[in-house]
Structure 1
Amino acid sequence: MEVQNGRFVSGNSSLFYSAVSYKKTSGSTIYASFLLDTSAKTYSSSTYTIAAGQTKAHSFGGLPVPSGCRVVGGLHPSGQGYFWTPALNPC
């Protein structure tokens, strides 16, 4: 996962920009959505098809900086649990 304070991207420090990516190295094709949890709200992407050898990513665009300055990215494969990244600070 990557996060960047908006002041570095657009000059707007009340926003941050993020992207979550996943590289599938082996196994069968999965159908999964990307997630972003800001403690105030959880954002979800549409469903992606990811086959072995592919890397897929989703950008969540400009979002309000959360009051706790903590965001976590995730992946939710259909029929499975949630997989979360370590938290990052967008402030």
Structure 2
Amino acid sequence: MYIYGSSQIHTAQPLSAPHRPLAAQAPQSRGVSGVDQLDISPEADLISQVHDLPDVRQDKVNSIRAQIASGTYDTDAKLDAALSRLLDEIG
């Protein structure tokens, strides 16, 4: 089928000489052994290690919960550091 612009569409054309299928040729040996090889980049290896990590670091969660319960988590120094980081991001 030939398409000439958006207004002229012709019907399917007959198959002719240059489009005739060629005789199947036997694959040529290139001296390559039949061994496949896979090289994994360091980045892909790191990503696969990240997927193996647990979703929640329970020891960290338990530590912070204990600090909150005892009233020692929100110290003035931590609040000042958080405020400073926030102002750095805004400014």
Q: TM-score, normalised by structure 2?
A: 0.15
Higher helix share: 2
Q: TM-score, normalised by structure 1?
A: 0.15
Greater relative contact order structure (CA < 8 Å, 6+ sep): 1
Larger Cα-atom Rg: 2
